[in-house]
Amino acid sequence: MERCAQVLNRALHALFTERADVVLIGEDLLDPYGGAFKVSAGLSTKFPDRVLTTPISEAAIVGIAGGLALRGLRPIVEIMFGDFTTLAADQIINHVAKFRGIYNGQVSCPVVIRTPMGARRGYGPTHSQSLEKIFLGIPGLTVVAPSRHHELGALLRGAVLESHDPVLFIENKAMYAQPHEPPIADRVAEFSTRTSADCFPTLTFSLNNFAAPDLTLATYGGMTPLALQAALELATEHELFAEIIVPSQLSPLPTTELQASLSTSRRLLVAEEGTLTAGWGAEVVARLMDITDFPFASARVAAADSIIPTSRPLEEAMLPQPADIIAAALKLTASPRR
């Protein structure tokens, strides 16, 4: 079974082989380094004219990529660590995301900005954050954050070739070394699965073959394995069945699967690796409150509102764990359904 980093690398090679208008731009991309996490390995050797290694300037990298996109190319930006997207925020928010609207739809800017987010590797306060929430809700920008159970190659291909607007493509760094395990015959291990038909699909997991769930558990990206682990323990130890909703697209937020599950469970638990305040989970809860015509109870699990320690035990204590999901689920289901 391939690791997620290998799947992404293979997808990049396939894109470069198929399309001469695909280029890659970023720092330390040339072989033998091949990017900080080796996802771009081999590309500079095979396609030397289309892999552009740059000085350390994230703003310049994204700005140049925006210009390349306006001239008809399909640029992929690699930002070494997601923490450094803050250095390119002006170009992302005030330029590439706005070009189509500024020019009244006469231009497109299909820039894909790939970057690793997340902790659990002891990289410390400035190399371990989950900052995708900063970019949620930006008009003209799509934010995608797949799990290891999504078809990673298909998602990356969709972002590069099928989107005409910029895509921030979040790759959880803990996922890189994990096996890529998309559903086979609508199953992942003990779970039955459903996959939506969107370009960036939502996965739904169930341990009771999609019978009425006791709660709806929404999560994404690198939190997915932890949520599945928690759901398995809730079922085996507490006879509580969670339906797990895992969108690959964070913004604009897809709500169809969330609404369908919540209409039965009436309990919503949202788990994310980013810090709690103003997180993705808050938007999920608020949006569902706006669009549903029935009451439901909700709770959120997230990282503490603190910087991420370099110490692994302290990092583990600060980040959400399966036990935190289980405790929140038990508290949520202790009350009668609304």
**Which residues are catalytically annotated?**
127
Structure tokens at 63: 């700005």
Q: How far is CA 276 from the centre of its chain?
A: 17
| Separation CA 321–CA 272 (nearest Å) | 10
Contact call for residues 101 and 140 (beta carbons, < 8 A): yes
Residue 150's closest CA among 195, 117, 113?
195
| Separation CA 157–CA 19 (nearest Å) | 11
Residue type, 318: M
| Separation CA 100–CA 107 (nearest Å) | 5
| Separation CA 75–CA 149 (nearest Å) | 26
Q: Which residues contact 67 (CB under 8 A, 6 or more apart)?
A: none
Q: Which 3 state secondary structure label does DSSP give 132?
A: helix
Strands in 187-188's sheet, in edge-to-edge order, are 187-188, 191-195, 202-206, 242-247, 215-218, 267-275, 297-303
- The CA R_g of the chain, rounded to the nearest whole Å, is 20
| Separation CA 22–CA 89 (nearest Å) | 23
| Separation CA 334–CA 203 (nearest Å) | 27
> How far lies 10's CA from each of 16, 20, 39, 41, 166, in Å?
10, 16, 9, 10, 22
Angle 21-22-26 from CA coordinates, rounded to 5°: 135
Structure tokens at 290: 């706006």
Contact call for residues 55 and 25 (beta carbons, < 8 A): no
Residue 249's closest CA among 206, 207, 316, 203?
203
